[in-house]
Amino acid sequence: HEERVRHEGLREKIMSAEQAASFVQNGMTLGVAGFTGAGYPKFVPTAIANRAKDAHARGEAFGIGMLTGASTSHDCDGVLAEANCINFRAPFQSDPAMRNHINAGNTHYVDMHLSHFEQQVRFGFYGDMDIALIEATGITPEGKIIPSMGIGTNNQWLKTAKKVIIEVNSRQSMMLDGMHDIPADLGEPPFRQPIPIVKPDDRIGTPYLECDLDKIIGIVMTDAPDRNSKFADPDENSKTIASQIIEFLDHEVKKGRLPKNLLPLQSGVGNVANAVLMGLQDSPFDDLMGYTEVLQDGMLDLVLSGKMKSASATALSFSPDALKRFNDNIEFLSDKLVLRPQEFTNHPEVIRRLGIIAMNAMIEADIYGNVNSTHIMGTKMMNGIGGSGDFTRNSHFSFFVSPSTAKGGAISTIVPMVSHHDHTEHDVMFLVTEQGFADLRGKSPRQRAKLIIDNCAHPDYRPMLQDYYDRAAKASGLQTPHLLNEALSWHQRFVETGDMRINKMRLAV
């Protein structure tokens, strides 16, 4: 596999994962590649985890900070969390072991808008970065780095870090060469230049990542797949949610308020978001465009079928079957997909200019349209806000989707007050559950409450929400009526009894 490292000098730096890991010392901050389980390092993290375990067994401290693009996988986040060596983590994760460490208080976690992260590291808000650990598909004779299935923050980590370790993964197709678009620096405030992306498929940079070659201290050859999580087949709820969104978009096209090929689409992570894209396959729209951060199975299939003519993203995160379809058709896809740094895919300037239709999943919404994307019962971290805030606040249309209940009906995803705020009432335009669709545009909080309760809440919870609202409207200020001593009582009831429903609580008491 070593022929993938075509630069003579760099070939001499090929070493084992253990040798590369030996550069990592207690207290260091690492900039690690990875975005939604794509393009993360596969071998060196385990070797670092083993170093940590050995150090701990000797009674020595070994803890590091880890900054990524977004989530990685068990063989990166998971093994490091299990070795109890991540003191600090940002800006997005979704690995169960890492999540447990965060929620157990062992790891400080900063949950960030993904578009902000590279510039905040550049501004020095996160201190020095000791080592960048990234994945590549290959290295050119000139020492340019051919990225793999994601860019995320790699461009920045290569520039910021004092030293660089590169995993060259021969499992990634060499045909990825040319699919990436790495823009040149646009300067810093107050002299930063505009981003010249005016169409979703514009390319404004070069296909390669570059860094000072003297900083590269190790190259590790790997041959391992990305996370490649399987998606559940869309269930009835997801299909109902998808069809309502499509019906609404169709209506807007017929009224002449949207072009026939819609506006560029962003879709978030998860099964429901993926189901919406699958639903578009049988929709009346053609020549769709994608401008998203993570491109999953649903969007890939839209491009493969010709429904979507191009898609821009920062990472390709596929199920095993979709990965096969991707690799089998990579030549056809090569001029239709473009992968960029997350600072560009998620940039408010571009999102506002292109007029994106943003669709993201949520944990819960309240009757006034505030959305929680990140915290379970207000205290436990799920994954993180990811790019949902970048897109929601700046898009042309912002949708949030969720089934109306979770955990077999014991949780209502429509609550009196969200237990954590990620997206405020000012940013959320549409809420869609399997029960119905609430168009919140131009509505006051009291008008929104009526729509959300009537259209989106599950029938088991609708009378409870109406009762809460009616009593709040009698007892409190009428701009946004609330009963402050009851607003979070549904969550408290769930924590105490395992069910948000009042009659279930009485049974349990």
Residue numbers annotated as active site: 293
3 to 42: interface string for ligand 0RQ, x by CB under 6 A: ---------------------------------x------
What does the alpha-carbon distance between residue 158 and residue 241 come to, in Å, rounded to a whole number? Answer: 41
Residue nearest ligand 0RQ (C-beta atom): 386
Both tokens of 106, joined, read 């062992």
What does the alpha-carbon distance between residue 171 and residue 268 come to, in Å, rounded to a whole number? Answer: 26
What does the alpha-carbon distance between residue 416 and residue 453 come to, in Å, rounded to a whole number? Answer: 10
What does the alpha-carbon distance between residue 136 and residue 10 come to, in Å, rounded to a whole number? Answer: 13
What is the residue whose two structure tokens read 């929680």? 372
Nearer Cβ to ligand 0RQ (377/483): 377
Asked if residue 383 binds ligand 0RQ (CB under 6 A), the reply is: yes
Asked if residue 505 binds ligand 0RQ (CB under 6 A), the reply is: no
The nearest distance, CB 427 to ligand 0RQ, in angstroms, is 13
> Contacting ligand 0RQ (CB under 6 A), which of 77, 135, 167, 364?
364
Nearer Cβ to ligand 0RQ (301/366): 366
Q: How far is CA 268 from CA 276, 294, 295, 321, in A?
A: 10, 7, 9, 20
Asked if residue 427 binds ligand 0RQ (CB under 6 A), the reply is: no
Nearer Cβ to ligand 0RQ (213/377): 377
What does the alpha-carbon distance between residue 358 and residue 364 come to, in Å, rounded to a whole number? Answer: 17
Asked if residue 437 binds ligand 0RQ (CB under 6 A), the reply is: no
Asked if residue 70 binds ligand 0RQ (CB under 6 A), the reply is: yes
> Contacting ligand 0RQ (CB under 6 A), which of 147, 150, 270, 416?
270
Q: Which residues contact 284 (CB under 8 A, 6 or more apart)?
A: 250, 253
Asked if residue 264 binds ligand 0RQ (CB under 6 A), the reply is: no
User: Radius of gyration of the chain from Cα atoms?
Assistant: 23
Nearer Cβ to ligand 0RQ (143/386): 386
Asked if residue 382 binds ligand 0RQ (CB under 6 A), the reply is: yes
Q: How far is CA 27 from CA 19, 85, 254, in A?
A: 18, 10, 59
> Contacting ligand 0RQ (CB under 6 A), which of 230, 407, 441, 474?
407
Asked if residue 268 binds ligand 0RQ (CB under 6 A), the reply is: yes
The nearest distance, CB 316 to ligand 0RQ, in angstroms, is 13
> Contacting ligand 0RQ (CB under 6 A), which of 264, 341, 387, 416?
387
Nearer Cβ to ligand 0RQ (5/411): 411
Both tokens of 359, joined, read 């669709």
Q: Which residues contact 174 (CB under 8 A, 6 or more apart)?
A: 4, 137, 138, 146
Q: How far is CA 80 from CA 50, 97, 190, 446, in A?
A: 9, 9, 39, 47
Nearer Cβ to ligand 0RQ (65/403): 403
**Residue spans of alpha helices (H) in 91-153:** 96-103, 114-122
Asked if residue 376 binds ligand 0RQ (CB under 6 A), the reply is: yes
Kind and range of the H or E element at 88? strand 86-90
Stretch that binds ligand 0RQ, among 43-51, 360-368, 426-434, 501-509 (CB under 6 A): 360-368
N-terminal to C-terminal alpha carbon distance within the chain: 64
Both tokens of 75, joined, read 């063989």
Neighbours of 462 (CB within 10 A): 18
Asked if residue 362 binds ligand 0RQ (CB under 6 A), the reply is: yes
3-class DSSP assignment, residue 241: helix
Stretch that binds ligand 0RQ, among 74-82, 158-166, 265-273, 458-466 (CB under 6 A): 265-273
Asked if residue 410 binds ligand 0RQ (CB under 6 A), the reply is: no
The nearest distance, CB 258 to ligand 0RQ, in angstroms, is 22
86 to 125: interface string for ligand 0RQ, x by CB under 6 A: ------x---------------------x-----------
Q: Which residues contact 281 (CB under 8 A, 6 or more apart)?
A: 298, 301, 302, 305, 307
> Contacting ligand 0RQ (CB under 6 A), which of 82, 111, 293, 366?
293
CA trace torsion 287, 289, 295, 300 (10° rounding): 10
Is 353 within 8 Å of 347 (Cβ atoms)? no
Question: Phi then psi for 109, rounded to 5 degrees?
Answer: -125, 125
Asked if residue 294 binds ligand 0RQ (CB under 6 A), the reply is: yes
Asked if residue 62 binds ligand 0RQ (CB under 6 A), the reply is: no
Asked if residue 363 binds ligand 0RQ (CB under 6 A), the reply is: yes
> Contacting ligand 0RQ (CB under 6 A), which of 137, 155, 360, 455?
360
What is the binding site for ligand 0RQ (CB under 6 A)?
36, 70, 92, 114, 268-273, 293-294, 360-364, 373, 376, 382-383, 385-388, 403, 406-407, 411, 413
